[in-house]
Structure 1
């Protein structure tokens, strides 16, 4: 997949324009500051930062540290939160558990894994949707998937454009039928067929469309100094 590219201090309208065009924008030489202040400033310039991220905060209150902890944080089910561990994190969208997930996810690389692990995985919905059968699309478009806030759907059409919300771990917190299991397998197989790996360098920032792009991460050593920062941006239009 193609990714938009910028260098140095970003111009917010240009970031949004490239994001609409490509679904992902890589900003080289953005910042190595781990306080999160630079990332929060950029998030605020794009729209309304999400205040729903409560894992490991930075100095900037709307930015989260993404790193492997000796004792990973636990979710409400008592399971390890993968973004606080070193295990592979399968492709997903963020804030699946909310009625209105963030529209943008931003990842700033402060320190990459020195051993070559922790690459970012990307898979764009426009690339893998054509590989999914019509029957599976129909099933995943039903508002029939249980969450804590009620029923939702995996695929949806908004203003004529396809969007996705997906996190298999969250979906399977509730019972699903064998038919749904097969549909999820087909979706993941299609996404894996079109995925790409991206290695961010220190100071890079990756801006992602959380409605049309799945993202994940390869595994890395648990004692790695790898440090990313994350911010999420809501839409003020919905």
Structure 2
């Protein structure tokens, strides 16, 4: 769902100053969230917009939203501290912002590296459907991406797919295989706020079917040793995710928020010729993770 910011709200936010945030460990401090909320809720139509955002992410049939902050980005600068604080304030209306990576700031850069594994988030190739931090016992409930610069050559649209709808189209036998604790992917080192390493794990866990994680990354098909039957079931799921995908190009200031209990995400390949683009002009996103508050239905 695309959410445009009402003009009255845009005009008021340009003049709204939020103080620098503070962290409590790897999480945004409660005092900062309260301060941001106090400042923002007196802004015309903020609460209405925040409610629309929450419904798009956790309401019936929802699971992702793109908050169109481009006009604010033009005025304030998309990587300016004032703009990032406003984006953080919107994020805190959904859940608690945090960074699972102690060596990175709250917002983590995802740039483009032509010599990186093409399938990685900072690579130039197709980034297949996945959930972030799939091998943690407590993955982030939401993953978010703020577009600073799209690919200047026109590639790299974001892709999203309803994981539960894809699972529902699978055979009963495939779903049974995906529910077995037989999958593994990636490393687990120096991470905060995402539980313990989960290895092996089921792709389908046993919680409420409508809200459970679909612990999937297509990269496991090439980079993990899986038994034939389990690999075939995961491959079938990958195909269904592609069949049900939506895609769109993020523009400067667009803020994509994905409910990881409902949708998986990825990215089409960047346009060829990235090595000719100066590093400072290449595609750049900022990533932030969110943890649902205790008692929030999306954390069921």
TM-score (norm 1): 0.83
Compute the displacement of 1:231 (Å): 0.7
Once the two structures are superposed, what CA deviation does each residue of 1:160-215 show, in whole Å capped at 9, x if it has no partner?
Answer: 42531111335765421011111111001111111111111111111111121111
Cα 1:145–1:135, aligned 2, differ >3 Å: closer, same or farther? same
Counterparts of 1:15 and 1:138, CA distance in 2: 34
- The alignment status of 1:51 with 2:99, answered yes or no, reads yes
Cα 1:70–1:115, aligned 2, differ >3 Å: closer, same or farther? closer
Which ranges in structure 2 are unaligned for 5 or more consecutive residues? 11-45, 189-196
- The alignment status of 1:18 with 2:52, answered yes or no, reads no
1:209 to 240, 256, 259: 259
Counterparts of 1:71 and 1:54, CA distance in 2: 25
Between 174-183 and 220-229, report the one with greater CA deviation: 220-229
Cα 1:97–1:126, aligned 2, differ >3 Å: closer, same or farther? closer
Match of 1:236 in 2: 293
Compute the displacement of 1:126 (Å): 3.5
Counterparts of 1:194 and 1:133, CA distance in 2: 16
Counterparts of 2:133 and 2:4, CA distance in 1: 26
Match of 2:270 in 1: 220
Q: Secondary structure at the match of 2:213?
A: strand
- The alignment status of 1:39 with 2:84, answered yes or no, reads no
Between 211-220 and 122-131, report the one with greater CA deviation: 122-131
With CA pairs under 8 Å and 6+ residues apart, which has the higher RCO, 1 or 2? 1
Compute the displacement of 1:124 (Å): 0.6
Compute the displacement of 1:70 (Å): 4.8
Match of 2:19 in 1: none
Alignment of 1:68-87 (within 5 A): 68-72=112-116, 82-87=120-125
Contact 1:97/1:170 (<8 A) preserved: no
Once the two structures are superposed, what CA deviation does each residue of 1:98-126 show, in whole Å capped at 9, x if it has no partner?
Answer: 11101111111111112220100111123
Contact 1:39/1:231 (<8 A) preserved: no
1:189 to 225, 232, 239: 239
Counterparts of 1:131 and 1:38, CA distance in 2: 40
Match of 1:75 in 2: none
Counterparts of 1:68 and 1:141, CA distance in 2: 35
Match of 2:107 in 1: 63
Counterparts of 1:188 and 1:130, CA distance in 2: 13
1:28 to 45, 49, 68: 68
Q: Give the structure with the higher percent helix.
A: 2
Compute the displacement of 1:54 (Å): 6.3
Q: Give the structure with the higher percent strand.
A: 1
Counterparts of 2:96 and 2:118, CA distance in 1: 28
Counterparts of 1:51 and 1:105, CA distance in 2: 11
